[in-house]
Amino acid sequence: MTTAAARARIRVMVVDDHPLVRSAVRQALSTSDLAVVAEAGSAEEALELAPQVRPDVLLVDIELPGMDGVGLVRELAPRLPETRILMLTASREDRHLLDAMRFGAAGYLTKDLSVGGLARAVRAAYDGELAMSHRNAARLVQRLVETSRSAAAGANPADPALGTLTAREAEVLQQLAEGLTDHEIAQALTLSPRTVEMHVSNILHKLGARTRAEAARRYRAPGRGPAPGPGA
């Protein structure tokens, strides 16, 4: 890794709707090799400013007014291929972690990070390393494995929400997509009908689906035929 003394100053931009947070980050990154060169209080403001500034590292909160931070990553990552985008957020939701990384983030940091930890993470990202805690890295790997299993079983890989399902929920959804009833799923997976109902409820919530048929359609890969009817 390049030493702080030998490298050029790393230019950082901060996107957070709380001025106090931006001020704290600016102070934490005021070192001999780090400098906050731009700030934005919303994703919309960042979309206009970031392409002009072209920072080395972009720190982005998830909970922003209007477009959220994950949406901002999706928009900016293709436009700024040389910028390393790091999430700096209070959110610990798996869907935020998975979506941010999938759309081009280079790391995922939580706001309980120490001042020194933040500076180290920014330097690590600049040097091309994955900037996140061991815990978040483990969660990311687990979710990617579960997504891979779902895809191998026939799930639609283009739907990011499917990656938020647990391995068991993915199994239940696969059975739903094949047209099985709760009772049949319970028998196939050696579960109680009540447990199957709980998994189905969780699946609908995570996918934002209103019906089982809609969830089944979301699961099916393109071209695999019609999903079960509304009575499934």
82-128 per-position pLDDT tens digit: 999 999 999 888 778 888 888 899 999 999 999 999 999 999 999 99
Both structure tokens of 60:
């982005």
pLDDT number for residue 7: 60
- Please state whether the predicted TM-score (pTM) of the whole model is above 0.95: no
**Nearest residue to 181 (alpha-carbon basis) of 197, 165, 167, 166:** 197
> Are the C-beta atoms of residues 76 and 87 closer than 8 Å to each other?
no
pLDDT number for residue 231: 39
Backbone angles phi, psi at 124, to 5 degrees: -65, -45
How far is it, in rounded angstroms, from Cα 175 to Cα 177?
5
Residue with tokens 């699946």: 203
Q: How many CB atoms lie within 10 A of CB 133?
A: 16
Q: CB within 8 A of 207, min separation 6: which ones?
A: 159, 161, 162, 165, 214, 215, 218
pLDDT number for residue 2: 46
Among the ranges 61-70, 146-155, 212-221, which has the highest mean pLDDT value?
Answer: 61-70
* CATH code, 151-219: 1.10.10.10
For the chain, first and last CA: distance in Å? 56
**Nearest residue to 220 (alpha-carbon basis) of 164, 181, 145, 162:** 162
How far is it, in rounded angstroms, from Cα 1 to Cα 127?
7
> Given 3-state DSSP classes, what are the helix, strand and coil percentages for the chain, each rounded to the nearest 5?
50, 15, 35
pLDDT number for residue 79: 92
pLDDT number for residue 232: 37
pLDDT number for residue 227: 40
Residue ranges, comma separated, of all CATH 1.10.10.10 domains in the chain are 151-219
Residue 150 binned pLDDT confidence (cut-offs 50, 70, 90): low
Whether residue 228 is predicted with pLDDT greater than 50 in this model: the reply is no
Residue ranges, comma separated, of all CATH 3.40.50.2300 domains in the chain are 10-132
Answer with the residue of higher pLDDT: 6 or 116. 116
Residue 225 binned pLDDT confidence (cut-offs 50, 70, 90): very low
pLDDT digits (tens, 9 = 90+) for 185-217: 988 888 888 889 988 998 998 888 889 888 888
Q: List 12's β-bridge partners, or say none.
A: 36, 57
pLDDT number for residue 35: 95
Give me the sign of the Cα torsion angle 85, 13, 114, 6.
Answer: positive
Whether residue 157 is predicted with pLDDT greater than 60 in this model: the reply is no
Answer with the residue of higher pLDDT: 25 or 223. 25
DSSP code of residue 160:
G
Side chain identity at residue 154, one-letter code: G
10-132, superfamily in CATH?
Response regulator (3.40.50.2300)
pLDDT digits (tens, 9 = 90+) for 12-41: 999 999 999 999 999 999 999 999 999 999
